[in-house]
Chains A and B, each alone.
Chain A
């Protein structure tokens, strides 16, 4: 429920940084196609008219991020990439124009800026979140494999991790499941933000995977409670034994 509030606290601690960023970025009104083309050529695959894995790794390195960093997901989102490990020419050029950015430095600054905005703007985050599902799909698939879903969930929630995320991912890795449907993916954001395990009503419109999850969680809770009372009573027993 409070997953969006936490980052704000973080943010307050970093306000100096923010100021720096904003003042140091130059605001180019228009980026020239020429520069963008040159930039694209730099990372382009030898055989195909797109930036593929190798180029992306270099791009990441130049930007100063690991390829599995949250920032790179944000980049893919800003470029509206249709597939993983692949930026087509039009995606790359149009994306950078919209940013706008035409050098490695400006891209880096834009990314930092966006990441800060994402920490507070929940509507923007929702767009990124929904993009992430599409981004993760194999071509011609409608569902996300469990392993891919787990990594993407971790990644997309890098900056504000919902409380239930770990138990949710843990739950997913322990069940037999065909994969994650788009609806389940989208609903999880709402579920993570608003739902309380103890108030959960499985007759409501939640996807049924959440029903199973909540049931498992409740079972764990009650087990923990039972263990606690068991411990308590054994303690008591030993106490009474002591008295005797």
Chain B
């Protein structure tokens, strides 16, 4: 066979070609050799000499296809004289015809591939033309044979039969909704529907338009009507709980139905329609029992409610969320308002944790950990934790959580791992506290006591907790805590060095000394207590001097101040029948040491020797009398009251401790802490205002307030009135001023 162009008799060739075309379209058997001959016939027509006959071939083929389809319509699919039972078969007939034709046309497209590629592609409008709108849609363009065939089908078959077909498919879907139909029929309906898509499938733009206009819109309308009716029927007989179950079932049925019948582009649309009619239209009904469901924690109903409402825009879920939030809040307030007794702090944290864990689990089980509900949980917990039980008093939560941590970190019989878990959990509650600075104040005071009096369960636990706080609030927040902690570990080192120094120099100081050097700025020890006058007993005088000398050789610039009220010591008593080792505070020890050389002294003598003030003397003498180590001649300590050493003292234990009156938390101390917090806050706010104004120069009142609120959020939430007072005092001090002519704008005074 030659590829060279030659003269061809069109009519002869077309006669043969036409036969094969017909065979291909009707899916008859075409031998390979014939197929190949016809293939080259197409070629030779296209390249014919002297005139290429491609246009003629295209025209003839188009003519042929038009006749073929019209013929199919009239004979196979919808004969003009069909009776009503045949009418019913129209879907079946159409489907058969379409299956045959669509496949046939595909093959035909292959047969004509030379024409398609060489002749038509050249004249086709390029993609770019379509993109930039150069092509008018009516352009009499040539189509590839496959496309041409589909277009002819659309024109002759679908345009005349479309509405009838759609009516029947909708009928079929309806039937499926009522009673279900067999899979064969489903396949037919699906095929018919798909033909509306496929017939335009070659189009680059708007290829779903026919499907949507012809079928989808009426389908959605019909379905909407159906849903509305069904919803009305359900409302008649169902409770909310039953209704939700039904709806969930319907939703999943409809989803499956959509996938079986429809083009995939319609699935979400139908689902949306379904949600609108069953859920959105009846929100009031659904919500009518929302409160009971939440308050009785009907998990199954809540779960269903969530499933149903999930696809609905957020605004509509608000009521469920709000109800849920209020419910948690109520339970939380109830659980913390009934606290009583000694260990309120433990009850507070653990009860709050119980509430939190319970609802966290519920949200996981029922609401799929939806962030909307998690944030509702957070809000509810925060409002409970920061609620003031009494309007007049500040919220105690920060103090309670700090105490809780203290009780865990103190020496106790609880196991390490249990302590660890509890502390980790306490962070959950800690995070809800608004007044984090209050927590910090209390925590650091308690930490100081634990470290100084060596009451910590373990240093690892202390450090781990500080790190947790750091993680939650940042370095600034735990800075001082870290420094306190470091002081203690440095002090251990220092004591070792001091002892080896004494050994090297061969100095005997007569007592065992353990000293903690604390940085004044980091420890919340208060300046007032440090100033108690005290004459150090000669027994420790030397050691103190030695240590000061030793310390100053290493750190010459530093000043040491002795905090005797925080010290304690062990005293061995050998004047009794048994010997005892007693742990006591420095002042008590100083008093007892005076009896080293005599058996009785007057109060006056003791107080003057030690130069103690009345309050300190009374308190510590009282505890020594109570311990029975000393006896007093009168009930109250007058100046000439005689204090005697009790030689009849006996105790079952040979090692014990005289209880320290100082260590209990007094209400004054709490108040003191709160005042200190208040002062700190004012300083913080003023500094923040100056900083902000310095960088912004001019700022409106509200913007300034917002800025300050966002900056202080990490450690506390200041009241607006407090911010205003700080602004006023800065205006008064002329750091800032109001801008002229505006009452609510400030400017920075450089």
Contact = CB atoms under 8 A, between A and B. Distances in A.
B725, B743, B745: most-surrounded residue (chain A CB, <10 A)? B743
Interface string B113-137: 0000000000000000000000000
Nearest to B727: A205
A203 B744 contact: no
A143 B701 CA distance: 23
A69 to B, nearest CB: 30
A181 interface: yes
A125 to B, nearest CB: 15
Contacts, number: 39
Given A183-B728, A183-B731, A205 B744 contact: yes
A208 B732 contact: no
Contacts of A41: none
Contacts of A202: 720-721
B541 to A, nearest CB: 50
A207 B730 CA distance: 12
Interface in A156-185: 181-184
Nearest to A187: B743
Interface string B698-725: 0001100100000000000000110011
8 contacts: A181-B732, A187-B743, A190-B743, A202-B721, A203-B702, A206-B743, A208-B721, A211-B721
A54 to B, nearest CB: 35
A183 B732 contact: yes
- Range class of the A interface residue count: 10 to 19
B710 to A, nearest CB: 15
Given A181-B728, A183-B728, A187-B743, A205 B701 contact: yes
A142 interface: yes
B interface majority secondary structure? helix
A206 B728 CA distance: 9
Contacts of A187: 738, 743
Contacts of B744: 204-205
B559 to A, nearest CB: 37
A204 B738 CA distance: 13
B201 to A, nearest CB: 64
Interface in A186-211: 186-187, 190, 202-208, 211
Contact of B728 (A190, A204, A207): A207
Contacts of B743: 187, 190, 205-206
Contacts of B732: 142-143, 181-183
Among all A-B residue pairs, the 7 with the closest Cβ atoms: A205-B701, A205-B744, A183-B731, A203-B720, A208-B724, A181-B732, A190-B743
Nearest to A212: B721
A208 B738 CA distance: 15
Nearest to B743: A190
Contacts of B705: 203
A184 B705 CA distance: 19
Given A205-B745, A208-B725, A211-B721, 17 more contacts: A181-B728, A181-B731, A183-B731, A183-B732, A184-B728, A186-B738, A187-B743, A190-B743, A202-B720, A203-B702, A203-B705, A204-B701, A204-B702, A205-B724, A205-B738, A205-B744, A206-B743
Nearest to A142: B732
A184 B724 CA distance: 12
Nearest to B734: A142
Nearest to B701: A205
A142 B733 CA distance: 9
Contacts of A190: 743
Given A183-B732, A187-B743, A207 B738 contact: no
A204 B703 CA distance: 11
A182 B702 CA distance: 22
B644 to A, nearest CB: 54
A190 to B, nearest CB: 5
B670 to A, nearest CB: 26
A43 to B, nearest CB: 36
Nearest to A191: B743
Contacts of B721: 202, 208, 211
Contacts of B702: 203-204
B728 A211 contact: no
A205 B732 CA distance: 15
A211 B731 contact: no
Contacts of A205: 701, 724, 738, 743-745
Contact of A208 (B701, B728, B745): B728
A70 B701 CA distance: 35
Contacts of A204: 701-702, 744
Contacts of A203: 702, 705, 720
Contact of A211 (B701, B724, B745): B724
